[in-house]
Amino acid sequence: MKATVITYGCQMNEYDTHLVESQLVSLGLDLVDTIDAADFVLVNTCAVRGKPVDKVRSLLGDLRRQKHERGLVVGMMGCLAQLEEGQQIARKFEVDVLLGPGSLLDIGAALESNQRFWGLQFKDELHEHIPPAPQGKLQAHLTIMRGCDHHCTYCIVPTTRGPQVSRTPASILKELDGLLAAGVQEVTLLGQNVNAYGFDQGAKIAGIPSFADLLRGVGRSGIRRIKFTTSHPMNFTEDVAIAMSETPAVCEFVHLPVQSGSNRVLRRMAREYTREKYLSHIADIKKHLPGVVLATDIIVGFPGETEEDFQHTLDLYDEVGYDSAYMFIYSARPGTPSYQHFTDLPREIKTERLQRLIVKQKEWSQKKNASKVGSIQEVLLRGNAHAEGFLEGHSRGNHPVVVPKALGADTAGVYPVRIGHATPHMLYGAVLGSNGEALPELPRLTPEAAAVSSPLSMV
């Protein structure tokens, strides 16, 4: 039997996909890259916003047709599968296997019965399960916790992934050892709220360090680069910034979602911090990490957001000076308090505000990226870019980078790169030779090719 997994959503979903793929391989299935070559297609879903749900509906419609035409077995996993909305979708599109985020290790039982498997219970063994290391990759994700104890009014995650459960340091470091043995050079620590690691349901867990101490411990493992996502400002502490500054392997990149610059909107979101508190965290980060690269998340058009509220967000963007941002129009999700109790804004208002924020973001991203021209960046090159003759990767600051293939840099690896050109969403450069000078390079990437070479655009 041949299988493929289609993944939507966040890095946690990507990690879960790898976990399930390892289970499928252990069951004797062969992994293939396309739906047409597969006997079993498993769709890993996201329920945070409406757009990914629409994509799942469309895909499942096509898979149902193939199910009747050639006997395809169809499965659905992830956050959407945990919700009544997802179960209704599964019934409508005749899904055979249904797995919630807490039941990923039950994939074998589900396939063995070849019937709908409504395995939606969270199981403790999942939290300590160690998947095999990905082979042939220089970067990998490592989940340090699952679930979330916060209850933001727009967020479905506490419902779909349950309360926070921190993995033990021993389990994390054991998985990290496997990644190191497989040649991984950059690891991203994953959690819905990594800052709260070790404080499950608000209580300190015996034997589990703080997130700052975990960073220090991971830094002593020998891994070359460490990143983490995502952070909740409510639980961010100055000790995290200090640990980053004291741990050379930790990259100078912080993703700290603000969601809104208005205290009134933050209260309606139940974010549990104020604009002033958030800015104090930014001040701590900049104090201990000069030159830090800052990214954020912003929701535009939250119910009740006024033009004055939105202006507070624009002002905060200028005050912080973000390098990049993930920006979204508010999407009302069934089952969340904001969906039940708040009235959505007209889409044209949300769209117009988003366009203004995008202009702001591009201005800052261009300014920040232009400041890197002439600098030497340590770049992890993952492999071929879309444009022939070029490699793509990212810096320690998470900047997408494209370089021409050259002597000594025609394959994936970590290289010093001198930046020669910048756009709002991409840095372009050339790999340095041993004498510190740029190696001979191929003709410069054209604007047309550049337009399709940036899968990491932050807008």
Binding residues for [4Fe-4S] cluster: 10, 46, 79, 148, 152, 155
3-state secondary structure of 441: coil
- In whole angstroms, give the CA distance from residue 157 to residue 230: 13
In Å, what is the CA distance from 353 to each residue of 36, 287, 313, 356?
A: 41, 32, 10, 5
Check: CB of residue 161 under 8 Å from CB of residue 192: yes
Check: CB of residue 142 under 8 Å from CB of residue 184: no
Token pair, residue 148, equals 């979330």
| CA-based nearest residue to 391, from 345, 442, 329, 342 | 442
> Of all helices (H) and strands (E), which one includes residue 217?
helix 211-219
Strand spans (E) along 114-200: 118-119, 139-143, 145-146, 165-166, 186-190, 199-200
Strand spans (E) along 212-323: 225-229, 253-255, 293-300
- In whole angstroms, give the CA distance from residue 49 to residue 127: 25
Pairing between β-strand 400-404 and β-strand 413-423 as defined by DSSP bridges: unpaired
- In whole angstroms, give the CA distance from residue 384 to residue 393: 9
Check: CB of residue 4 under 8 Å from CB of residue 88: no
Burial of 316 (0-12, 13-18, 19+ CB in 10 A): buried
Residue list for the binding site: 10, 46, 79, 148, 152, 155
Check: CB of residue 163 under 8 Å from CB of residue 208: no
Q: Is the dihedral of CA 273, 296, 231, 11 positive or negative?
A: positive
Q: How many helices (H) and strands (E) does the chain have?
A: 15, 21
